[in-house]
Structure 1
Amino acid sequence: MDLLALLGLLLGIFAILGGQLWEGGDLVTLLNGPAFLIVVGGTLAATLVQTPWRIFVQSLAQLRWIFLPPKFPFDEGLQRLVNWAATARKEGLLGLEQIVERDEDPFTRKGMGLLVDGGEPHSIRNAMTTEMELHETRQLQAAKVFEAMGGYSPTLGILGAVMGLIQVMHNLSEPALLGSGIAVAFVATIYGVGFANLLFIPVAGRLRSVVLQQSQYREMLIEGIVAIAEGENPRVIESKLAGFVKSS
């Protein structure tokens, strides 16, 4: 579990609630059903209008990455590439055929399959780079969903505030009803800005960073497999790809 993400979420909640208490406020005043419905319901509705169903479902599935991000074994991947290069120099590319069948990563299997089949280095690079870029684009669509929610949420908060003030204007002759309208107005603004800046936008940024890290790992695999196809020395490949490990 990513404890830093959990700590950040808890710290954000503590900062808001703690600030409210420090100012002498009551936490109950931050609980407002109409404001919550306007902001969260409106944000969700606008997002559903914008987003295809497949991408929306994908974004929900990727939410687990916030606390349980996938691991990309840069060190292990580099060592495997070096071992494969050594095998290719000793036994030829056909010596890697069994390795291709055992590898669990479809992306690696595809690259190694092209290598064993005698593909030219530039052809291997082009095929793997195209697949990596297409996969990255698909995965980043989930982050864009939460970025959109981060844009809609403050606007819906303003809408809730205006609706609350309308209620206030309608009830100027009845002072007892003014409080609820004012509460909706201000709490809706808090919900809109709070959800955007403490949840939606940070979630989008975290998902984006995971996808980019995966692409970085795949770039290392591409460079390593192409280097094997070009017949480079295993030690040279290790030195060449060491930068990927350090930057992971």
Structure 2
Amino acid sequence: MDFASFIGIISGLALIVGAIFYGSSDFSIFINVPGIMIVIGGTVAATLLTFQFKDTMAALRAMFIVFAQDKQDPQAMITTMLSLTKIARREGLVALSRVDADSPFLKRALGMASDASDEEYIRNTLQADIDSLKMRHYVVQDVFKKMGTYAPAFGMLGTLIGLIQMLAQLDDPETIGPSMAVALLTTFYGSLLATVIFNPIAGKLKARTILEIQTLEIIRDGTVSLLGSNNYLAVYERLSSYVPAHQRKPAGIGGGD
């Protein structure tokens, strides 16, 4: 589980709820069912109008991934590719086909390498997979970005509806205060959803995508390196550039022959 995401959203909501209770003991004044219907219903409707249904559902599934899965570690993949370099040197490229890989992308790359496929073919094929993943992830991120835009807009729309209703009852001054409070609640709902949920999730998914793409690029370059040279240090130098210098493990770890 990614505890940073979980702690972030829980602490954000807790601080807002705490501020509400600190300023007022009556929490019910922040509950307005029509306002909730306008913001949530309008945001969902606009999102479905903007994106295909399958893309919207994929985005909702990705939202759970943010909390359920730990982020990928490029350094761990570098270590894996260096281990595969040792196997290729000792047993030949054919032995790579017998490696049990959890990643389908890595499994495919090793399969092409063991078949002695052309280096350019492997690079282009794996790059096409990476580009396809970028596009799919971009759409998922864009769903939450758009929701982060739509929610405040519908919140403002709800506020305008409330103000119109309030102005229609100006003959009763006692209703102005409560009516104004209800009108502003939809703006509160829209801003809350955008700043605490939608935009942070979009940002987290973007960060996850960057790490995943980096990991796939390590697999791509590592596989190509296996074809061109099985020299442990050469592969290490090529792949270690993907991580900051202070995070790199020494080349001697895992040792070459």
Do the structures match in fold with TM over 0.5? yes
Give the secondary-structure state (helix, strand or coil) at the position aligned to 2:37. Answer: helix
C-alpha distance in structure 1 between counterparts of 2:25 and 2:153, whole Å: 25
Following superposition of structure 1 onto structure 2, how do residues 79-94 of structure 1 map, counting pairs within 5 Å? 79-94=79-94
Aligned to 2:252: none
Give the secondary-structure state (helix, strand or coil) at the position aligned to 1:239. Answer: helix
| Mapped contact 2:158–2:183 kept (Cα < 8 A) | yes
Q: Compared with structure 1, are the counterparts of its residues 175 and 6 closer, same or farther at alpha carbon in structure 2 (3 Å cutoff)?
A: same
Aligned to 2:58: 58
Give the secondary-structure state (helix, strand or coil) at the position aligned to 2:68. Answer: coil
- Counterpart residue type for residue 23 of structure 1: G
C-alpha distance in structure 2 between counterparts of 1:173 and 1:68, whole Å: 54
Q: Residue 24 of structure 1: CA displacement? A: 4.3
C-alpha distance in structure 1 between counterparts of 2:95 and 2:191, whole Å: 58
| Mapped contact 1:69–1:210 kept (Cα < 8 A) | no
Aligned to 1:26: 26
Percent identity, please: 28
Aligned to 2:237: 239
- Counterpart residue type for residue 51 of structure 1: F
Alpha-carbon displacement from aligned partner over 1:67-114 (angstroms, at most 9, x marks no partner): 122443534422331222222223322232322xx3232211221122
Unaligned runs of 5+ in 1: none
C-alpha distance in structure 1 between counterparts of 2:33 and 2:62, whole Å: 28
Aligned to 1:216: 214
Aligned to 1:165: 163
State TM-score, norm by structure 1: 0.90
Following superposition of structure 1 onto structure 2, how do residues 1-248 of structure 1 map, counting pairs within 5 Å? 1-24=1-24, 26-99=26-99, 102-175=100-173, 177-179=175-177, 181-246=179-244
C-alpha distance in structure 2 between counterparts of 1:97 and 1:202, whole Å: 40
| Mapped contact 1:149–1:196 kept (Cα < 8 A) | yes
State TM-score, norm by structure 2: 0.87
C-alpha distance in structure 2 between counterparts of 1:54 and 1:24, whole Å: 42
| Mapped contact 1:146–1:203 kept (Cα < 8 A) | yes
Q: Residue 193 of structure 1: CA displacement? A: 1.2
C-alpha distance in structure 1 between counterparts of 2:175 and 2:50, whole Å: 37
- Counterpart residue type for residue 45 of structure 1: A
Q: Compared with structure 1, are the counterparts of its residues 238 and 12 closer, same or farther at alpha carbon in structure 2 (3 Å cutoff)?
A: same
Unaligned runs of 5+ in 2: 249-257
Give the secondary-structure state (helix, strand or coil) at the position aligned to 1:171. Answer: coil
C-alpha distance in structure 1 between counterparts of 2:101 and 2:21, whole Å: 55
Give the secondary-structure state (helix, strand or coil) at the position aligned to 2:72. Answer: coil
Give the secondary-structure state (helix, strand or coil) at the position aligned to 1:244. Answer: coil
Q: Residue 195 of structure 1: CA displacement? A: 0.9
C-alpha distance in structure 1 between counterparts of 2:97 and 2:134, whole Å: 28
| Mapped contact 2:73–2:211 kept (Cα < 8 A) | no
| Mapped contact 1:87–1:96 kept (Cα < 8 A) | yes
What CA RMSD, in Å, does the superposition of the two structures yield over aligned residues? 2.1
Q: Residue 245 of structure 1: CA displacement? A: 4.8
Alpha-carbon displacement from aligned partner over 1:14-57 (angstroms, at most 9, x marks no partner): 33223333334632211111111111111111001111011111
Q: Residue 126 of structure 1: CA displacement? A: 1.3
Q: How many residue pairs end up in the alignment? A: 246
